Amino acid sequence: MTTSLRVLLVEDDETDADLVLLELRRGGYEPEWRRVDTRREMIQALANQDWDLVICDHRLPAFSSQGALEVKRERGLDIPFIIVSGAAPEEVVTEAMRAGAQDFISKNGLVRLVPAVQRELREAALRQERRFIEEELAESQGRYAMMFHENPAPMLLVDPATLLVVEANQAAGTFFGHPLDVLERTRVTELSVLAREGEWRGIQRSRRQRAYVFQDRVLCADGSSREVDVYAVKISQGRRPMLLATLFDQTERHAAEARAALLAEAVAQVSDAIALMDASGSVQYVNQAFERLAGLALSAISGWTLGDLLDEVSLVEAARRAASGEPWDGRATLRLDGGRLREVAVRYSPVRDASGQVSHLVAVLRDVTGEAERERQYRQMDKMEALGTLAAGVAHDFNNLLTAITSAAELLKSGLPADSPAQSRVAAIQQAGLCAAGLTRQILSFSRKGGEQRVPLDLSVLVRNALQMVRSSRPPHVTITSELTSGIWVEGDPAQLQQVVLNLALNAIQAMQASGGTLHLALSETREEGHGTVRRYALLTVEDTGCGMDARTQERIFEPFFTTKPAGEGTGLGLSIVHATVTGAGGRIQVQSRPGEGSIFKVWWPCAGATARPAEQPAPVDVSGHESILLVEDEELVATLARLGLEDLGYSVSIRPDARAALDLLREAPDRWDLVATTLALSDMTGAEFATSLRAIRADLPVLLLSGLPMPATLALAESGRFAEVVPKPYTPHGLAGALRRVLDSRPGPSARPAAPRTVAKPAPKEREALRPAVLLAEDSQTTRSMIQSWLERAGYEVVAVEDGVGALERLKEGPDPGRFGVLLTDVVMPRMDGMSLAKLVRAMDPALPIAILTSNEDKETVTSALHLGVDEFLNKPFDAPALLGCVERLLARHRERMAERRSAETAHEVRQAQQRMVAVPEKGLPIYSICEPLTDAGGDVFRCMTCADGSILFVLADVAGHSVQSSYAVASFLTMLSAFVGECVTLMALAPGQSSPATERPRSLHLCGLYGSIPCHPLQHLADKFNQGIQNGPFPEIPVCALFGLWNPASGCLEVLNAGIPHGIISRRDGSAEPLALNGTPLGIFPEPPLESAELRLQPGDRLIFGTDGFFDVLSPQRQPFADLAPGLWGALRETPVDWALSAVCSKVREHAQGRPTDDLLVIGFEQPPLSRSPEDLFMHLPSTPRAVDVACDRLGECLKASKLGGRLDESAFFDITLAVREALSNAVIHGNGNRPEATVVLRCQPDDATGRLTVSVKDEGPGFDLEAHAPPEDPLSERGRGIPLIRAYADEVRMDGSELTLTFLAEEKNP
Amino acid sequence: MTTGKPQLVTKRKGETLRLVPKSDLVASSVESYRASMLKAVEAPGQAVVLDLSAIEQLDSLGITLVLGLFKTCQKAGAAFSVEGVKGDIVRVFKLFNLTKFFPVTEA
């Protein structure tokens, strides 16, 4: 077996080359060789081919082994290089070996060649392998470095022995917020909130596990903590074991998972039913509400479609639209277990995946069964209302026709002989007319438009008449029996009662239509005892032997429009009208029935009291007369018949078809007429308008109204006071004449006849109480309005019903009697003005009037809004009569209480007003005046002031919110606090360091050592803070207080004001100008640190200030103009008046402005700056903000100082120092405080005091001030800035900064001799 | 009291430039003096002398002006000194250790 070997022979002798090759072959090699003998050839050979071995002769004619080694070295080749040469000295061999030859073999000793080749090839292979490994290692280390340092994930190299971070990548530094050098000195457990030392140690101990993952929460430099997954791997760095930890921030993922879990829980628990389907509509998920609604668990529904649950063809369309990406809303019926049905509102929405494709469908279901039922009821009510409107219109015209018929019949009858056979026929016409009138009332009753007429009647007679009608129409196989007790008197509308009997009887016959049977009617009187009273009822029993009813039908038979009859054969109204009629009259109805066993209806109708039974019929009254009557009637036939009838009775009658013609006639001869009778609806104006116009012509002319309107409206007109009497249509000439006679006979004068009893009069409401307040009802639905009005009137209440809020307001404003109405009942949604707006306006007009909202929408927002408006109660529709009456009773009781309170308060107010001195009074003998006029006994405006040791006056105005009893207690509490705090503040100011004689200014800062550490604070701010805390920590934290704190030094004219919500005060200057002090601020007691605004003023002698609460500035005139608009002008105009008189005069103007109807407590204070008290040596200057003004001031200061006694004690250097320090203070004020604005003022005040040897200089600008302590000399001595304040501090003995005022004090030293 | 109109007298004698303000170096005058002085030291020569013999007041803005002059001269390689200074004003220079940077010679 031979081994191939690529050999480059550098040899010039072919023989020697062959010998070498021979030797190689002998050693088992199969040489692939080339021989070269020059440098060029060797370079070429190396370039063309890879070689395993170079065998080179030592000496060649044109080359050498050194040259060959050099060629190999130049190319960086690692090819074994063996020199085969003749004998050579040892130093040659050594030199060759140094030059890179691997061996040197003598040509005579070629036996060593093969072993040498074998050895060198082995060595070369080893070198090759080592080189490869080194390259791999270098590459690996590079990859590691890149992976570690450039990895976006935080990575830590941790020493497992110490758990110290040995190395951290940049991402770790960013993640933890620590510099890398800090991070690399930290134990890894210190970076962890959970200090997972066990995990870190466990990794190292584990022999089998090389990688380890655990969760941790690490702490970052900013204090935040992050949730991480730690992936730790054991590695070796050199020979040291290390842990390489990679941190994966899972904070957001965990938060997202928590959010997703919360969302899933919310969906699971939300009250709406939610179902999630896949794109094919198959249910994948339903929430708990869905399971409750459907009565099925998710496991049962899963895989269904909603179509399996819902009966609605539209769902197919819904699913199709949702699948195509469109939402769908609609309603469907949900089939429940047991066949029960619920109506649900369904909303289908598509759910799209990331690619925008609809992947799922979501359906939200809401049970609207109740809502749908109410909607159905409202629709029915609308139908009834429309029907009622139609019926009312028909009734008006129908009554006109009936008037004509009955009048004509009466006239015809009066012209017939008494024994004429036509008498009975005419009587039949009259009877038919009366029946038709009853029919009209029935129509109105049916539509709940009113029209019922409650009269005493014998129920047995009515039942017998009804039975007679039933018998005439009964089927032959139905037998009718009766057992009626006579003389049972009740009160009711005959038509309604007849309808009750007929409906029950006809229903009974209907039930026996198929099989026949017996109808039995019984009437008796029964008594029921309870609560110490005995009630008598007429008991009507209607019993049949028909098909009967099951329990479910019995539950619903009194519901409107419920019927068991085939469509088109029954309206479903009969029994509901019976029920409404009976219960509306205070009775009750019961039914007993079983299928196949017939039914028994029992009706209990209250018996009439003894007084209700009709008295004996009055003897016919002589209704004839001779007076002149003007009849205004647009129906010609009715007018003619009335005229004929009245003329027959002796009256003189003129007819006019419209109001305008009638008024013209009246103007021609006003005294010609004794009475005007007018119909209600004239072509050109209403009867009411006509009556009003007529009054302008002749006020004493009585007007009789002929009304075709339903009874309630007619009664309302009768009560309006415009008409002497109202005659409802239809009437007869005799009836009309009777009304004329009553009116004419009741008038004083020669034509008056003895008064006759009024036989046509409105029935007085039952149990009506004198002076009982009326109920004002605003309801746009005529049906509901009539129903409520009916219930209330039956209970004895006077009701004024209007259609909307505007109507209600008109009624409330029109009457002179403010207590006319005791309750307002109002619907919410009405045309022109809704109930909420009405409630708001009514509450502003009359806080005492109880208001109840009639609403079908009891949502929280409506309730909250209504409560804010002061609504007293809610009555949710639909409601029944007891609920309504209970509500009205409660509200009336409340109204009585409020009226009593109001009368008491008004009395107290009047007394207080009478006793109050309405003049400004000085407070505690100080030159500060106040006027306080509480609106109620418990006024909420407070004024306190106190004198400080230096003569300053500390004052506080406070306006406590509200006027309730609680507010009055709060005022008492706050007054105690204020007194304590003001006293404390004044005491502390006296103790504060720097306090000097009263001639100097008061200290501007308090250093409250011992109480609050050593916190410098401003006295007013301190007072406001204390008061604010006191309110919040006191017994009335919910009552905020507006306040204004002032500190006024009348001697210096210094005024500081801190405002917390009091309106802007006004300052009037000596030049007559007056302007508001625009200081704002938040009331106290609301925020821990309320934003307040303060100002410091230098008052000049004659300047006047006025401060007041909102009860002063915000008083509105009837034209809604606030007094604040007028106050500056007034306050300025009163400059020539002494300030206390001026204050009184302004308050007098406020009262005029409010026209004597203040709405809030009034508190106003005022004062005038007296002449400033200062020594003749004092210097006081107002300077413009210019550098030149600084020079002038410094010159003036120097002059004053030199002229003063103190100046005599100062040497030139002291003058220099003082002048330089003051100059710096002034320059600072001009440049920094006032920003070089010439119009801004700098105030300079110098007070040399020879007695104390002190010179006090204060400089005040308009800026915010600065921190004196922050101004040290510049660190760089060559700095060109920051020397002003250090100069001042160097040359003044004391320097103090209060707000924007810098005060320098210089202590005089005796002159050096 | 020399708070009159700013007036600067410049005298050049050989390589020495002498600047003589005739009124106080205070807020109301420094801006005028700054313009005229900086113009004068555009060619300062080897030495600049600020002669304050006519002034009685030097406020912080005046010091700023003097420092500005000193720095300008430093840049131009010219020597800077203040002469004729009243004792009280010397105290101001000493207060801010400015005498360490340039000679201040009391009058």
What confidence tens digit (pLDDT) does each residue in A85-95 have? 887 788 888 88
User: For residue A667, is pLDDT > 80?
Assistant: yes
**Among the ranges given (A154-158, A404-408, A708-712, A963-967), the one the predictor scored with the smallest mean pLDDT:** A708-712
| Of residues B26, B88, B96, nearest to A1283 (C-beta) | B96
Chain B residue with the nearest C-alpha to that of A1211: B88
| Cβ–Cβ below 8 Å for A1277 and B101 | yes
CB contact (8 A) between residue B1 and residue A1216:
no
Which pLDDT value is given to residue A618? 44
Confidence of residue A750 (pLDDT cuts 50, 70, 90): very low
In degrees and rounded to multiples of 5, residue A594 shows phi and psi of -140, 145
Q: What type of residue is A2?
A: T
Mean pLDDT of A654-662: 89
Domain membership flag for residue B3: no
**Residues of chain A neighbouring B96 (CB-CB closer than 8 A):** 1273, 1277, 1283, 1286
Band (pLDDT 50/70/90 cuts) for residue A398 is confident
- Residue A1013 confidence (pLDDT): 33
Separation CA A1283–CA A1194 (nearest Å): 19
For an interface test with B, the pick among A1192, A1218, A1280 (most B C-beta atoms closer than 10 Å) comes out as A1280
Q: What is the pLDDT of residues A1183-1192, one digit of tens each?
A: 888 888 899 8
State the average pLDDT over residues A753-763: 34
Q: Which helix or strand (DSSP H or E) is residue A1044 part of? A: strand A1041-1049
Domain span holding position B52: 8-106
Count A/B contacts: CB-CB distance under 8 Å. Answer: 69
Q: Does B57 touch chain A (CB under 8 A)?
A: yes
- The CA distances from residue A1082 to A27, A1042, A1044, A1114, A1175, in Å, are 111, 7, 11, 17, 41
Answer whether residue B19 is part of any domain: yes
A986 touches chain B (CB under 8 A): no
Query: Is 0.95 exceeded by the ipTM?
Result: no
With respect to residue B63, please indicate whether it lies within any of the assigned structural domains.
yes
In the predicted model, what is the mean pLDDT of residues A804-827? 79
Q: Is B87 part of a structural domain of the chain?
A: yes
Residue A45 has pLDDT above 90, yes or no: yes
pLDDT digits (tens, 9 = 90+) for A1206-1220: 888 888 889 999 999
The pairing of strands A240-249 and A225-237 is antiparallel
Average pLDDT score over chain A: 80
Residue B95 to residue A1290, Cβ atoms within 8 A: yes
What whole-number distance in Å separates Cα of residue A1228 and Cα of residue A1297?
A: 13
Residue type at A1002 in one-letter notation: R
Does residue B28 form part of some domain? yes
Q: Which residues of A167-185 are buried (b: 16+ CB within 10 A; e: fewer)?
A: bbbebbbebbebebeebbe
Closest by Cβ to A1191, choosing from B28, B64, B98: B28
Q: Identify the DSSP state of A1234.
A: S
- Tally the C-alpha atoms within 13 A of residue A767's C-alpha that lie toward its C-beta: 7
Average of pLDDT values for A1063-1075? 86
Q: Is B95 on the interface with A (CB under 8 A)?
A: yes
pLDDT (tens digit, 9 = 90+) per residue, A313-372? 556 666 677 667 777 788 888 777 666 778 888 888 888 888 888 888 888 888 888 887
Greater pLDDT, A737 or A1003: A737
> What is the rounded CA–CA span in Å between residue A596 and residue A598?
6
Closest CB from B56, B91, B98 relative to A1277: B98
Q: Which residue has the higher pLDDT, A566 or A79?
A: A79
C-alpha to C-alpha distance for A769 and A630, rounded to whole angstroms: 37
Residue that wins the pLDDT comparison between A407 and A1065: A1065
Best mutation target among B25, B96, B97 (most A Cβ atoms within 10 Å) is B96
DSSP state of A384: H
- Chain A CB within 8 Å of residue B74 CB: no
**All structural domains of chain A:** 3-134 (3.40.50.2300), 151-253 (3.30.450.20), 270-367 (3.30.450.20), 452-610 (3.30.565.10), 628-746 (3.40.50.2300), 774-906 (3.40.50.2300), 916-1168 (3.60.40.10), 1179-1307 (3.30.565.10)
How many angstroms away from the CA of B21 is the closest CA of chain A?
17
Inter-chain CB proximity B97 and A1277 less than 8 Å? yes
Greatest mean pLDDT range, A835-839, A898-902, A1175-1179, B73-77? B73-77
Cβ-based neighbour number of residue A908 at 10 Å? 12
Touching check for A1087 and chain B: CB below 8 Å? no
pLDDT per position as a tens digit, A1009-1032 = 333 333 345 778 888 888 888 888
- Which of the residue ranges A540-554, A740-754, A995-1009, A1198-1212 would you say has the lowest mean pLDDT? A995-1009
Residue type at position A1008: L
At A472 the pLDDT is 65
Tokens 């100011």 sit on residue: A989
At B70, which CATH number? 3.30.750.24
Q: pLDDT tier at A1241 (50, 70, 90 boundaries)?
A: confident
Mean pLDDT of A1095-1112: 87
Say what the pLDDT of residue A924 is.
61
Alpha-carbon gap: B59 to the closest alpha carbon of chain A (Å): 7
Q: Which residues contact B101 (CB under 8 A, 6 or more apart)?
A: A1277, A1278, B70
Give a yes or no: residue B66 inside a domain. yes
pLDDT at A761: 34
Which of A565, A520, A566, A563 shows the shortest CA–CA distance to A545? Answer: A520
Does pLDDT of A610 surpass 50? no
Which residue pairs, CB below 8 angstroms and at least 24 apart, start in A317-326?
A: A318/A346, A318/A348, A319/A277, A319/A281, A319/A348, A319/A361, A321/A348, A322/A348, A322/A349, A322/A350, A322/A358, A322/A361, A323/A279, A323/A281, A323/A350, A323/A358, A323/A361, A324/A350, A324/A358, A325/A350, A325/A352, A325/A358, A326/A350
∠ CA A1271-A1275-A1278, rounded to 5°: 110
Interface contact flag, B59 A1227, Cβ < 8 Å? yes
Q: Answer with the residue of higher pLDDT: A821 or A395.
A: A821
Domain count, chain B: 1
Name the A residues in 1246-1285 with CB < 8 Å from any B CB: 1273, 1277-1281, 1283-1284
Q: Kindly state the tokens that stand for A771.
A: 């002076």
- The pLDDT of A1072-1076, averaged and rounded, is 84
B45 located within any domain: yes
